[in-house]
């Protein structure tokens, strides 16, 4: 119950801030150009309290999820008097700016939030911004079926050259229908592969079956277990077991599972010096599965604190990369190369917000807010009527035609777009439920 309340409160805060920033963009641009704003509301539904100033009703409404701005003469469905302070009485370029200001504010907010995160505390796995070298390949996975091996370096994926692991993970996320073209370097050879991610409808968007190569640095030693008894220390790096090079923690786990209870020679790096230690694993049982363990954990992370200029540049680069990813996902959705199941609705956002809020510090939640804000900004720029991008598209068409589109045509366009968005929202929420309750699909008629 506590987790549910945290997720619900976190979602309300995150979406509330995102939508308010969006609407403030429209409000500020409209005021700048002299368009009368009838209502600026925090929340939706019934008006609870507020005040009027300068012809605007600033109100707090009953449903505290974001807000909205109502401009005079904004809707093509309402009657207009032709007054100079009405939205439609202003030049097209001013209406264009007003429509673009909302998404623009969301994109600016994403840049600002990420800049702050990079300046104060950006914690991430050490492999994330490293070359994409495979550390482990799961048995019977798509990567294994394609012939991938530990030590392979991914030099191209879906057209992107020399990707980092973050690039690889993001590329796979947007491809679930159809194979991903991958080029790997193995020794002096470059091999072409095609890998089909497996989508199972859970929170994991894909299951390729490869894991990154990363240092196996001891970050925690369990009391009374073989590792601590044999003399391992926090900070040691495991590089080999019985002479076999280890490229990821899972490679150690798999090797021990095959080796059983026989002692192993563990090669370490301690303060730059190689050291061999003999350790005898112990058998444990986890969720009914027998494992052989040494008793250490490895979760190496890197913490960045950048000066303002570097943080801003990194924020701009990352927002640009995620923007391209979002547009690529939309393109693949249209081409039926990606699944709409990858879209997150309110349940998914609530779950992600709750997870971020429970992590120590503000950085995880601020980073999530930046990503949601960027998504909201770009989504609203899509050329779908009712959305800001649709308004911009109609303004461009009117500019080319040099005349206004007839009101009854606009009315039909908006009605069709409204039905489309309702159906789209219903599908996304349904998929949200299937992810949150994976057994529900089998119980539905």
pLDDT in tens, 267-326: 999 998 999 999 999 988 776 677 889 999 998 888 888 999 999 999 999 899 888 888
Say what the pLDDT of residue 291 is.
83
End-to-end CA distance of the chain: 29
CATH at 178: 2.30.42.10
Question: Measuring CA to CA, how many Å separate 246 from each of 53, 240, 243, 411, 442?
Answer: 68, 5, 9, 64, 41
Q: pLDDT-based confidence at 444, cuts 50/70/90?
A: very low
Say what the pLDDT of residue 81 is.
76
Say what the pLDDT of residue 44 is.
78
162 and 227 belong to one structural domain: no
pLDDT tens string 331-375 = 877 777 766 666 666 666 767 777 776 776 777 888 888 988 998
The reply to whether 369 falls in a domain is yes
Q: pLDDT-based confidence at 154, cuts 50/70/90?
A: very high
Choice between 126 and 6, residue whose per-residue pLDDT is larger? 126
CB 98 within 8 A of CB 29: yes
The reply to whether 420 falls in a domain is yes
Residue 199's contacts (CB-CB under 8 Å, 6 or more residues apart) are 176, 205, 206, 207, 339, 341
140 and 87 belong to one structural domain: no
15 and 102 belong to one structural domain: yes
In this structure, of 20-34, 164-178, 211-225, 369-383, the range with the lowest mean pLDDT score is 164-178
In this structure, of 95-99, 111-115, 138-142, 161-165, the range with the lowest mean pLDDT score is 138-142
Choice between 17 and 207, residue whose per-residue pLDDT is larger? 17
Say what the pLDDT of residue 288 is.
67
Percent of the chain topping pLDDT 70: 87
Which one of 147, 171, 205 terminates a domain?
205
How big is the CA angle at 327 (ends 325 and 328), to the nearest 5 degrees?
Answer: 60
The reply to whether 432 falls in a domain is yes
181 and 252 belong to one structural domain: no
117 and 14 belong to one structural domain: yes
Residue 66 has pLDDT above 70, yes or no: no
As a whole number of angstroms, the distance between CA 418 and CA 435 comes to: 26
Q: pLDDT-based confidence at 439, cuts 50/70/90?
A: very low
| Cα dihedral 345, 347, 348, 350 sign | positive
Say what the pLDDT of residue 139 is.
85
Choice between 25 and 402, residue whose per-residue pLDDT is larger? 25
Residue 100 has pLDDT above 70, yes or no: yes
pLDDT tens string 280-291 = 999 887 766 778
Could you list the residue range(s) of the whole structural domain that residue 409 is in? 2-122+359-443
233 and 275 belong to one structural domain: yes
Choice between 36 and 387, residue whose per-residue pLDDT is larger? 36
User: What is the tally of structural domains in the chain?
Assistant: 3
Say what the pLDDT of residue 442 is.
42
| Cα dihedral 331, 336, 337, 341 sign | positive
Say what the pLDDT of residue 324 is.
85
174 and 221 belong to one structural domain: no
């Amino acid at each position: 119950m506590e987790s549910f309340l945290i997720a619900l409160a976190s979602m309300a805060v995150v979406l509330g801030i995102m939508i308010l920033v969006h609407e403030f963009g429209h409000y500020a641009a409209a005021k700048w150009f002299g368009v009368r704003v009838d209502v600026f509301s925090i929340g939706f539904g019934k008006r609870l309290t507020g005040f009027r100033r300068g012809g605007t009703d600033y109100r707090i409404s009953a449903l505290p999820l974001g807000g909205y701005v109502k401009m005079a003469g904004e809707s093509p469905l309402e009657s207009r008097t032709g007054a100079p302070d009405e939205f439609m009485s202003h030049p097209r370029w001013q209406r264009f700016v007003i429509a673009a200001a909302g998404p623009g504010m969301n994109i600016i907010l994403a840049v600002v939030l990420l800049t702050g995160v990079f300046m104060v505390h950006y914690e991430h796995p050490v492999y994330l911004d490293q070359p994409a070298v495979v550390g482990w390949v799961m048995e019977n996975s798509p990567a294994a079926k394609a012939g991938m091996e530990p030590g392979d370096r991914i030099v191209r994926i879906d057209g992107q050259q020399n990707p980092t692991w973050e690039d690889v993970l993001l590329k796979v996320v947007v491809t679930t229908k159809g194979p991903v073209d991958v080029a790997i370097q193995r020794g002096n050879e470059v091999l072409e592969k095609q890998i089909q991610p497996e989508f199972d409808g859970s929170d994991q968007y894909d299951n390729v079956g490869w894991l990154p190569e990363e240092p196996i640095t001891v970050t925690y030693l369990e009391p009374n277990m073989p590792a601590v008894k044999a003399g391992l220390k926090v900070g040691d790096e495991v590089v080999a077991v019985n002479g076999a090079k280890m490229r990821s923690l899972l490679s150690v786990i798999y090797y021990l599972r095959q080796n059983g209870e026989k002692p192993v020679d563990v090669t370490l790096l301690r303060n730059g010096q190689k050291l061999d230690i003999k350790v005898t694993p112990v058998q444990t049982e986890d969720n009914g599965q027998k494992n052989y363990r040494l008793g250490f954990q490895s979760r190496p992370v890197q913490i960045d604190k950048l000066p303002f200029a570097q943080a801003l540049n990194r924020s701009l680069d990352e927002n640009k990369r995620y923007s391209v990813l979002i547009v690529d996902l939309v393109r693949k959705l249209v081409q039926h190369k990606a699944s709409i199941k990858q879209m997150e609705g309110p349940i998914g956002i609530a779950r992600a917000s709750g997870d971020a809020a429970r992590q120590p510090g503000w950085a995880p939640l601020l980073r999530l807010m930046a990503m949601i804000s960027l998504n909201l900004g770009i989504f609203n720029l899509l050329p779908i009527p009712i959305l800001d991008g649709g308004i911009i598209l109609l303004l461009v068409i009117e500019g080319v035609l040099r005349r206004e589109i007839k009101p009854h045509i606009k009315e039909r366009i908006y009605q069709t777009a409204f039905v489309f968005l309702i159906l789209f929202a219903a599908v996304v929420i349904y998929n949200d439920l299937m992810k949150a309750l994976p057994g529900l699909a089998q119980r539905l008629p």
